[in-house]
Amino acid sequence: MKKIIITGATGSIGRNLVRELSARGDEVIVFTRNPEKAVKKLSSKIRIVKWDYENIDVPSSPGLPPSQKLWRTSRRTSWMDELNGVDAVVHLASANLSSKRWNEKFKKVAYHSRIASTRNLVEAIRNAEQKPKVFICSSAVGYYGERFDEILDEESLPGNDFLANLCKDWENEAAKVEHYGIRRVSLRTSPALIKGEGALKKMLWPYKLFIGGPLSTGKQWFPWIHIDDIVGIYLHAIDNEKLSGSVNAASPGIVRMKDFAKTLGKVLKRPSIFPVPKFIMKIAAGEVAEYAVMSQRTSVEKILSAGYKFKFENLEEALKDLLIK
């Protein structure tokens, strides 16, 4: 049995991960800024701890000027004490990038929620007397930006757009935990296919109206992953002591968008002949539409070499599992 802290546990991936960890007998502690919401969404058996990453409670490192101090008060609070002696910290908490149209204010919120929370968690881990064995932090394939047909492994250079820079800075903050002898894994997650949620839910409505089809030109590579496999990779990262660094979390069965749309139409028994031009997507969704149609041909050789066995490598089988069962 392991003792594991999770942030962002009320999100789609977090809820599924908490369920699997509990099912296998691990002790799960949820850090949340909204305990009332967590109580409603999670099992009553899960211990929930109030977590405010903005208010850390030990002095910052000596010699830093006030503008660079990470801590705001001089006392310890309970969430920091919880870090002592746990086996793993899984950090999923962040502002949902698809929750609203992007503007400069929202982009600052999205950036801050990832960078500040990661930085302050790592600093709190540094001050823990008995440190966790592993720190697993979410990231995204958006790290790579628009890359067309280039095969992208974990050593590929980052892109240079807003999302790519966010992911790069996010991973850099997470990597600081390695200075304290702690294994770090940053999972560059592709769009997760989840029944009734997320990207898949948004893709379904045109098909229900018999006007489904690929997004943009359809030529772009579309990395995807079944919810069972992204949860499985998080479990593998917790358990496998040899896995470290940045890791692409996508299915080996990557396809182009036109093939994804065709397969989705086949499973739904609906036509898939009406492409959605990018300019229409931008009118409907704003700047985030640019990232929804970027081509990222991700390699998953690293996670395969680490011994992870995918449940769903075939897109049609994954979609049938989610949409027909």
Strand partners, 49: 31
Q: Which pLDDT tens digit goes with each residue over 67-118?
A: 333 333 334 557 999 999 999 999 999 999 988 889 999 999 999 999 999 9
For residue 239, give the nearest of 136, 128, 311 by alpha carbon.
136
Contacts of 154 (CB under 8 A, 6+ apart): 188, 245, 246, 247, 248, 302
Measured between alpha carbons, how far is 274 from 277 in angstroms, rounded to an integer? Answer: 9
Q: What is the CATH number of domain 83-191+225-251+298-312?
A: 3.40.50.720
CA distances, 278 to each of 257, 287, 297 (Å) = 13, 11, 19
The residue length of the chain stands at: 325
Q: How many CB atoms lie within 10 A of CB 75?
A: 9
Which sign does the torsion angle of CA 261, 138, 8, 288 carry? Answer: negative
Distance CA 3, CA 46 (A): 12
Cα torsion 6, 244, 169, 11 to 10°: value is: -30
pLDDT reported for residue 62:
35
Average pLDDT per consecutive 10 residues, the chain (325 residues; last block may be shorter):
96 96 96 93 88 65 36 56 96 90 93 95 95 98 98 98 97 98 98 94 92 95 98 98 98 98 97 90 83 96 98 98 92
DSSP string covering 38-63, please?
HHHHS-TTSEEEE--TT---SPPPTT
pLDDT score, position 57: 53
pLDDT of residue 56: 62
pLDDT at 285: 82
- Residue 248 near residue 141 (C-beta atoms within 8 A): yes
Looking up tokens 């302050």, which residue turns up?
Answer: 120
Please tell me the distance from the alpha carbon of residue 139 to that of residue 92, in angstroms, as a whole number. 9
Would you say 251 and 225 are in contact if contact means Cβ atoms under 8 Å apart? yes
pLDDT, tens digit (0-9, with 9 covering 90-100), for 148-176: 999 999 999 999 999 999 999 999 999 99
256 three-class SS: strand
